[in-house]
């Protein structure tokens, strides 16, 4: 069973993410205070459920360092929730509970040129198929660092 080890949000589309201990995940909207919740994200012109919350494995970031010599911390990853001990790719098409909230895994969050531009590092190749998970929030609730991830 995986755990949440970090939560990162920003109110500005290209702003630096900040770590928080908890966040309210609001069904159909996103993470309260985050750029996509506020519709100020880079890709917010058209709301999509897959932008409500993004997850990334700490193991993927460690693999990027180990295999490509590129350090990218969770804040720089531009993903909202950092996990440990769960294969996020296996959650595509599945519902899962984190704290009080329920999420639906919709699609992989493949790395893009925008991520490389903001980080100043060529991270795309090292994060292909392990760049995270895009999710929709099905049930509103508080998500906290330390919460478990439970497939429903």
pLDDT, residue 1, reads 80
pLDDT, residue 77, reads 83
Q: Which fold has domain 3-151?
A: M1 Pyruvate Kinase; Domain 3 (2.40.33)
List Cβ neighbours of 40 (8 Å cut-off, separation of 6 or more): 11, 12, 13
Determine phi and psi for 130, rounding to 5 degrees.
-145, 30
Q: Which residue from 47, 48, 74, 50 is spatially nearest to 60, judged by alpha carbons?
A: 74
Reduced to 3 states (helix: H, G, I; strand: E, B; else coil), residue 67 is helix
pLDDT at 44 exceeding the cut of 70: no
Q: Which range among 3-12, 55-64, 104-113, 138-147 shows the weakest confidence by mean pLDDT?
A: 104-113
Q: For the segment 71-118, what is each residue's pLDDT rounded down to a tens digit?
A: 888 988 878 999 999 999 999 999 999 999 999 999 998 876 666 676
- In eight-state DSSP terms, residue 69 is -
This prediction's pTM: 0.90
List Cβ neighbours of 24 (8 Å cut-off, separation of 6 or more): 31, 32, 140, 141, 142, 143
Kindly indicate the confidence band of residue 51, based on its pLDDT and cuts at 50, 70 and 90: confident
List Cβ neighbours of 66 (8 Å cut-off, separation of 6 or more): none
pLDDT, residue 91, reads 98
Give dist(CA 128, CA 92) in Å, integer.
15
Domain ranges of the chain: 3-151
Give dist(CA 151, CA 21) in Å, integer.
22
Q: Which residue from 117, 123, 136 is spatially nearest to 53, judged by alpha carbons?
A: 136
> Is the separation of the CB atoms in 140 and 24 below 8 Å?
yes
Q: For the segment 8-37, what is each residue's pLDDT rounded down to a tens digit?
A: 998 887 778 899 999 999 999 999 999 888
Kindly indicate the confidence band of residue 47, based on its pLDDT and cuts at 50, 70 and 90: confident
pLDDT at 45 exceeding the cut of 70: no
């Amino acid at each position: 069973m995986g755990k949440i080890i970090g939560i990162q949000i920003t109110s500005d589309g290209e702003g630096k993410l900040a770590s928080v201990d908890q966040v309210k995940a609001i069904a159909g909207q996103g993470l309260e205070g985050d750029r996509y919740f506020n519709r100020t994200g880079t890709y917010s012109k058209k709301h999509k459920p897959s932008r409500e919350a993004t997850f990334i494995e700490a193991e993927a970031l460690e693999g990027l360092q180990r295999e490509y010599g590129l350090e990218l911390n969770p804040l720089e990853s531009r993903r909202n929730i950092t996990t440990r001990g769960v294969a996020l790719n296996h959650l595509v098409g599945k519902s899962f509970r984190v704290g009080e909230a329920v999420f639906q895994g919709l699609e992989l969050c493949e790395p893009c040129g925008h991520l490389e531009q903001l980080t100043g590092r060529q991270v795309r190749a090292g994060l292909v198929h392990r760049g995270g998970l895009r999710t929709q929030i099905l049930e509103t609730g508080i998500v906290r660092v330390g919460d478990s991830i439970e497939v429903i």
